[in-house]
Amino acid sequence: MFVLLKGLRHARREIALSVPAARGSLALRHVDAGSCNGCEHELAAAANPYYDLQRHGLNIVASPRHADVLLVTGPITTRMVQPLLIAYEAMPEPRLTAALGDCAVGCAALVGEQAQLAGPLERVLPVDLRIPGCPPNPEQIAAALLDLMREAKQRVRADRSRSWSPQPRHPAAKA
């Protein structure tokens, strides 16, 4: 155990994530809609000691009910459309959708007009964030998600200032 923990300390010392940190957190739920497993490997790698996404408040959660962001990978096979829509429906609002990898974004070389595909993601769900790459590496995934976090925060702040503005709710009440 001692050696294991020492090894981990060593790995953490050379953390290479160069993206600027952001305050806040995002709960992520991943859905594989027909990927080659490359995006899954890289998303899982984002939690390894070299990247450690959790220290930026990016947490992968077990259920769409707990999630702010739906991270979708793969070219959206026809057999995954229904489960994907169910997962999306289960999310609380406000919710965001991210296309992770070239297949979900819709720029993968191999994904043609196969009958078994319903994608890319934008044909099935509204897309808020596109993370291209085949597969995108953990650092690119982290950078894109941290940008999304900043943007989402600004949007929430703008919404809040609008709804809290001291304007009368009913113009008729003024008279």
Partner 1 sequence: MSVHGREIVRALSPARILVVAPERWRAECELHAQEGWRFCGLFATSGAQQPRVSCVLARGGREHVLSTSVPTGILDTLVDLFEASAVDEREAHDVYGVRFHGHEPLRPLLEHPSDPAAWTVPVQGHDPYQVAVGPIHAGVIESGHFRFTVVGERILNLDLRLFYKHRGLQTAAEGRRLADGLAYAARACAACSVTNAVAYAQACESALALAPDRNLRRARTLLLELERLYNHLNDISAICAGVGFAPGSMAFAALKERAQRLNQRLTGHRFLFGAVAVASSELRIGHVDARAARHELRSIGDGTRSLWRELRFAASVQDRLGGVGCLTRDDALRLGVVGPSARASGIEKDTRSESPRLAYGEFAPVSVARASGDVAARFDVRGLELEQTLALLDDLLDGNLTTGAVKSLGGADCELGVSRVESPRGETLCAVQHHGGSVVRLHLRTGSYANWPAVACAARENLLPDFPLINKSFELCYACADR
State yes or no: residue 50 binds partner 1 (CB under 8 A): yes
DSSP string, 139-152: HHHHHHHHHHHHHH
Count of residues engaged in binding partner 1, rule: CB under 8 A: 47
Per-residue contact string for residues 56-85; x = within reach of partner 1 by CB under 8 A? ----x-xx----------xx-x-xx--x--
Indicate which single residue of 20, 24, 48, 85 sits in contact with partner 1 (rule: CB under 8 A). Answer: 48
Q: Report the residue number, 140 or 151, with the smaller CB distance to partner 1.
A: 140
Of residues 22, 27, 43, 131, which one binds partner 1 by CB under 8 A? Answer: 43
Alpha helices in 14-92 (DSSP H): 38-45, 78-89
Backbone angles phi, psi at 153, to 5 degrees: -65, -40
The CA distance from 175 to 148, in Å, is 44
In this structure, the number of other CB atoms found within 10 A of the CB of residue 109 comes to 8
Q: Which stretch binds partner 1 (CB under 8 A): 121-129, 131-139, 147-155, 166-174?
A: 131-139
Contact call for residue 166 and partner 1 (CB under 8 A): no
Q: Are strands 96-100 and 69-73 parallel, antiparallel or unpaired?
A: parallel
C-beta atoms surrounding 102 within 10 Å: 25
- Residue numbers of the site for partner 1 (CB under 8 A)? 1, 3-5, 7-8, 11, 30-38, 40-45, 47-50, 60, 62-63, 74-75, 77, 79-80, 83, 87, 109-112, 114-117, 134-135, 137
